[in-house]
Amino acid sequence: MRTRNTLLAAALLAAGLLVHLPQARAQLMQPEEVVSLTPALPKTGFEPGATFQAAVVVEIAAGYHLYAHGTSDPMLIATELRLPEESPVTWPFVRYPEDYKKPDEDLPGLIGEEYYDRIIIKLVGRIPAETEVGELAVPMGLFYQTCTEAVCLMPYTKSFTFTIPVVAPGTEVETINEEIFGEGGRN
Asked if residue 24 belongs to a domain, the reply is no
Q: 124: closest CA among 186, 55, 185?
A: 55
Is 44 within the bounds of a domain? yes
Q: CA 175, CA 42: separation in Å to the nearest integer?
A: 6
In a domain, 174, yes or no: yes
Q: What is the Cα gyration radius of the chain?
A: 22
Q: Phi first, then psi: what are they for 71, rounded to 5°?
A: -55, 140
Residue at 127: amino acid letter: I
Give how many domains the chain has, as a whole number. Answer: 1
As a whole-number percent, the residues of the chain with pLDDT over 70 amount to 80
Confidence (pTM):
0.80
Q: What is the pLDDT of residues 27-69, one digit of tens each?
A: 788 999 999 999 999 999 999 999 999 999 999 999 999 999 9
**Average pLDDT over every residue of 21-30:** 60
12 found inside a domain: no
> Alpha-carbon distance 101 to 110, whole Å?
9
Determine the average pLDDT of the residues in 136-161: 95
CATH at 102: 2.60.40.10
The answer to whether residue 97 sits within a structural domain is: yes
Q: Which residues constitute the domain of residue 60? A: 35-181
Q: How confident is the model at residue 99 (pLDDT cuts 50, 70, 90)?
A: low
Domain membership flag for residue 114: yes
Contact (Cβ atoms closer than 8 angstroms) between residue 34 and residue 146? yes
b/e map 118-144, b = 16+ CB within 10 Å? ebbbbbebebeeebeeeebebebbbbb
Percent of the chain with pLDDT over 90: 66
Question: d(Cα 94, Cα 43) in Å, to the nearest integer?
Answer: 19
Confirm whether 186 is domain-assigned.
Answer: no
